[in-house]
A and B are shown apart, each in its own frame.
Chain A
Amino acid sequence: MITKLKNLALSFWRVMSKPATKISLGVLAFGGFLTGIVFWGGFNTAMEMTNTEQFCIGCHEMRDNVYVELQDTIHYTNRTGVRATCPDCHVPHNWSHKVARKMQASKEVFGWVFGTINTKEKFEAKRLELAQHEWARFAANNSLECRSCHNYDSMDWEKMSPAAKFYMQPASERNVGCIECHKGIAHHLPINDSGVNPILAKVEQGATSQTLEEGKQYFVVKPIAIYEDEDLTKQAGTLSYAAPVKVIEKKDDKVKLQLKGWRKDKGFGRVYHSDFGKNIRVAVMEKDPAQNPDLISVGLSQNDPATGLDWSEVTVEFWAKEGAFIPDVATLWNAAGEIYSSNCSTCHAQPDPAHFDANSWPAQFNGMVGFTSMDPSTQALVLTYLQLHSSDYAEGTH
């Protein structure tokens, strides 16, 4: 058998290695040229076949999930009828990268064969990971695919709504990639955002792809559980919105963090505040960990003349999961400020954040917040925002 194949190859080579004797050069050249054209045409046609929406939604994984979500968006229906199909955004337009992406699709074929995401539940479980792949790609190429249709230079600021212009114009000056702000523009965001304010959901989304570096300071974008141990089994407490933490150590997707705060001596010392004498919450500890000297180092006690209460500085170290921290807290404040001004102006003009001081804001806020539709978590964020932008922290007020 093997000998037979070897002979066949040998005879093939013999013919190949000699000049043709019976077929004219013209026929050979024409035949080669013709098959070349046919091949290349066929190849590209086949590749383009795989580059259509019809092909993409040939699998129910795409058809029943992301495609359905797309249909509610402006990229599917709009007044001018120009629309984006799956590959317009998800396949690079550059030929080399397109081929590379097609090779990557072998993973998708693998997933399809083994049913990695063949149910709604499996898809939802994997949604964040899948989305992160796409975000990373968009982040790296600075949203190249978006820009094949959208172009900063062609945007007419005068025709844009002021709110859009407010964000778009500075973004254009820094050439910010579209995806940085427009995650979730065509499909649902991975975090289950029912109940979460959509402005906030975007900030939280941004934190999921943030990698943390040791020794640097970050801010938590939402209340998260913190743990005594690196296996995250013994909960020590909960961080509050915008709590500033320093990364001490990293292990896989877990980080050891340090938080400094102040607590009142009256009570169980469970609530940590950002500054001495300021009721701005940064963390709430569980009862036992709050008294655990291995976890917490407590400084000297000081009396606050404004209330007569004693306060102590505390430093606590704990473990938490990555994915909820951002290096620049301004994005969180932008979101909070927007929520505040829209929710608190339905009945009256909302007071300027600097109209009250940090310790007066809770009372003002508690007194009126019942009239808004903010959920308790959003309320906590907005209150923290108001306190940290109160007359105690703003310059030149009163």
Chain B
Amino acid sequence: MTNKDVAERTEKQTASSEWLTFLVFTLVILPGIAVAAIGSYGLAIWIYQMIYGPPIVG
């Protein structure tokens, strides 16, 4: 297999792989990260509250 072969194949696959990557990223990975981030944020607050007690308001 030559470099050219690789380049050609890549050239051909570019459109579909870009679409696939875009969709996987926006529909699967990013939402997953977002949920995980919110979750960790929540978890962090929880852990914080376990150490420093529940939120104190006026």
Contacts and interface: CB of A to CB of B under 8 A. Distances in A.
A104 B45 CA distance: 10
Interface in B15-41: 15, 17-19, 21-22, 24-27, 30-31, 34-35, 38-39, 41
Contact of B45 (A28, A100, A142): A100
A137 B50 CA distance: 11
A346 interface: no
A136 interface: yes
Nearest to A140: B54
B57 to A, nearest CB: 4
Category for how many chain B residues contact A:
20 to 34
Tell me whether chain B's interface is mostly helix, strand or loop, or mixed.
helix
B26 A31 contact: yes
B47 to A, nearest CB: 9
Nearest to B49: A100
Interface residues of A, number: 31
B39 to A, nearest CB: 6
B30 to A, nearest CB: 8
Contact of B21 (A16, A100, A136): A16
B13 to A, nearest CB: 9
Of A12, A23, A103, the most chain B CB neighbours within 10 A belong to A103
Interface of B: 14-15, 17-19, 21-22, 24-27, 30-31, 34-35, 38-39, 41-43, 45-46, 49, 53-58
8 contacts: A21-B18, A23-B18, A43-B35, A94-B55, A99-B45, A101-B42, A136-B54, A142-B56
Interface of A: 11-12, 15-16, 20-23, 28, 31-32, 35, 39, 43, 92, 94, 96-97, 99-104, 136-137, 140-142, 144, 175
Given A92-B55, A100-B46, A103-B46, 13 more contacts: A15-B17, A15-B21, A16-B21, A22-B18, A23-B19, A28-B22, A35-B31, A97-B55, A99-B41, A102-B42, A142-B56, A142-B58, A144-B57
